[in-house]
Every structure is written in structure tokens, then in C-alpha cells.
Amino acid sequence: MNSRSHFVFVYGTLKTGFPNHYYMQLGGPDSYEYIGQALTRERYPMVLLNKRFVPALLHVAGSGNRIAGEVFKVDDKVLAHLDELEGVASNYYTRQIIEIDPIDFGAEQITGPCFVYFLCRDGNPEFIYEELLLEVHLAEYTSTHATQYIPKWTRAVEPPALS
């Protein structure tokens, strides 16, 4: 990796073999490295948004489940691509630091912070979507969920509201 490296915990469409995993590869073959499977140390609610099967992690530690996912080491370029996909600049998701517990890491061990993307509102990850807390909380986003996922570039655009 040519720039700084960052550990990122992914729990949904960015996982290996899932619809948005190719974002990991946008920086080139040396821009990312699979580290292994892990669980979040804290419990969080993970829900599916609407009928698009988009996974969303809510920043409500202690509620929900320990979330299963994968850890990657990525460079600055890939991290910027991930931020773009997750809508960080438009305050749709926010990147935060969490603790994880490795399941099957090889020789590489995490020695620094691990980033994750939380659903937010206006950049505030602490904002709680009360209605989403009533949804079923997943422990893992599976390939069954991913087959029903509707990629953002194929979603219908909502017409602007008339005044």
C-alpha cells in the first residue's frame, strides 16, 4: 500500500462476494488486503432499510447483536471510495471507530482503530431512528439478503415534491 493504511470492518454489501465488494478494488490490487472475519465487541442493531435490502448499522451500543463481518486493511484511496459509496459527505452514513473481536485472522493482527459505517442523520451518528429500532435486528447480512439488494444506481429516483 502506497499511502496510510486503515482497518475497516464491513458487515454488508462490501463483504467478499457481495454486490459492492468491487469498491475495495477501485484503488488497484495493492490498495486493500483481506484480514479476516470478526464480530463487533459491542452489540448494535443492524436492520434492512425499506425493501432495498440495504444493511444499516445503528449507533446504539448495547442493543441488538454482535455483528458478524470482515476486516480489511485499505489505503487512503479505497477509504475515500468507501466514504463515497456510504454517502459520508452527504451525511447518510458516518465513519466511526469501534472495537472488534477477530474470528479467523491470519498473521495480521489489528493494532489500531477499526472503522465502521453507521447510519446517521445530518452527520450525527447518535441520532436514533426510533422506527428502525422496532425492526428485526440482524446479526449477519447474508448472501440471501444480498441477492435481494437493489444497488443505488438502479433505484428509482423520487420526483421532487411540488410546492
Q: Catalytic residue numbers?
A: 86
User: Are 24 and 32 in contact, with CB atoms under 8 Å apart?
Assistant: yes
One-letter amino acid at 30 equals D
State CA 38 to chain mean position distance: 13
Kind of pairing between the strands at 5-10 and 65-75: antiparallel
> What is the distance between the alpha carbons of residues 13 and 16, in angstroms, rounded to a whole number?
8
